[in-house]
Amino acid sequence: MKLLSTIKTQILVVLTVLPGFLLAQNIVAQKPDSMTTEPVLLMKTRGQNPPTVRSFIIPAVLVSYGLLSLSNNGIRTLDFSTKSEIQEDHPLFAHHLDNYLQYAPMVAVYGLNLAGVKGRHSIADQTGLYLLSFGIMGVTTTTIKHLADRPRPDGSNNYSFPSGHTANAFAAAEFLNQEYCDVSPWIGYAGYAVATATGALRLYNNKHWLSDVVAGAGFGIASTKIAYLVYPHLKKMLIGRQSINYSVVPMYQQKAAGLAFSGTF
């Protein structure tokens, strides 16, 4: 029994970190010559490399894994055994850090902007891209939650599949990676690590099954990739070819801190 418990624990660890690991590998695959590319040329190509069809393979695999769990099979059996293992080892675990951690990669994008580290897009376009990604992810996951009608492990409601927290975290992590993978791949790695931690916390808080978390990662990543494909066309439809230049600076006035935006159309 001890050996069986160890094997199950190892499977849990592998599947929990799998989305982050695969996406980390994807960064390297997308930038094979990044270490030898001249910095000036690299800066010139920013914003001109939208996600490719191949880059959707990983999120498609993750989503497919989750969808397969909606039937009675080995994947669903692993859901139940994983929950049993976690609850047996950590029956009193309750930490709400996942409610905030899911937004950390998105906050990092704006933090890097304020620190003077520019991403692929202006802060205005970054905001538009994130909102579009968040909208796609929100509509998709909410719709599927109602269609799947899966009870949560703790029985609180029937909106378990897929994990919205995990989807949001990986959407934000992919957003961070898209904007700053040209600056350093480690920024993307950090975002995926935070997203993976969010998914793990959802399991330990007994709010989701393992397959919910894996599928949520897939939906989140795909949502951001779709947003980066759609946004340029959507922007062109709304404002044509007219350019918009924005700047943002921190400000402090009358004992109140904030951000000042300025833009030209």
pLDDT per position as a tens digit, 141-187: 999 999 999 999 999 999 999 999 999 999 999 999 999 999 999 99
Identify the pLDDT of residue 97. 95
Q: How many domains does the chain have?
A: 1
Element (H, E) at 172: helix 164-180
Question: Tokens at residue 45, please?
Answer: 């190509």
Identify the pLDDT of residue 247. 53
Q: Is residue 249 part of a domain?
A: no
Mean pLDDT of 242-259: 52
In tens, the pLDDT along 54-79 reads 999 999 999 999 999 999 999 999 99
More confident residue, 14 or 108: 108
Q: With cut-offs at 50, 70 and 90, classify the pLDDT of residue 263.
A: low
More confident residue, 195 or 257: 195
- The yes-or-no verdict on residue 80 having pLDDT over 70 is yes
Mean pLDDT of 13-34: 44
Closest CA to 57 of 33, 29, 31: 29
Q: Is residue 251 part of a domain?
A: no
Identify the pLDDT of residue 47. 47
Question: Can you give the pTM of this predicted structure?
Answer: 0.76
Across the chain, what does the average pLDDT equal? 82
89/164 Cα distance (integer angstroms): 25
The residue behind tokens 């994990």 is: 163
Q: With cut-offs at 50, 70 and 90, classify the pLDDT of residue 105.
A: very high
In percent, the amount of the chain with pLDDT more than 90 equals 65
Q: Is residue 248 part of a domain?
A: no
Identify the pLDDT of residue 239. 78
* Exposure on the CB side of residue 45, measured as CA atoms within 13 A: 14
- The yes-or-no verdict on residue 28 having pLDDT over 60 is no
More confident residue, 55 or 44: 55
Mean pLDDT of 79-85: 96
Per-residue DSSP letter, 55: G
Q: With cut-offs at 50, 70 and 90, classify the pLDDT of residue 236.
A: confident
Q: Is residue 11 part of a domain?
A: yes
Identify the pLDDT of residue 227. 97
Q: Is residue 92 part of a domain?
A: yes
Q: Is residue 261 part of a domain?
A: no
- Is 206 in contact with 86 (CB distance < 8 Å)? yes
Q: Is residue 203 part of a domain?
A: yes
Identify the pLDDT of residue 256. 54
Q: Is residue 262 part of a domain?
A: no
- The yes-or-no verdict on residue 3 having pLDDT over 50 is no
- Is 220 in contact with 116 (CB distance < 8 Å)? no
Supply the range of the domain harboring residue 143. 2-242
The residue behind tokens 């340029």 is: 232
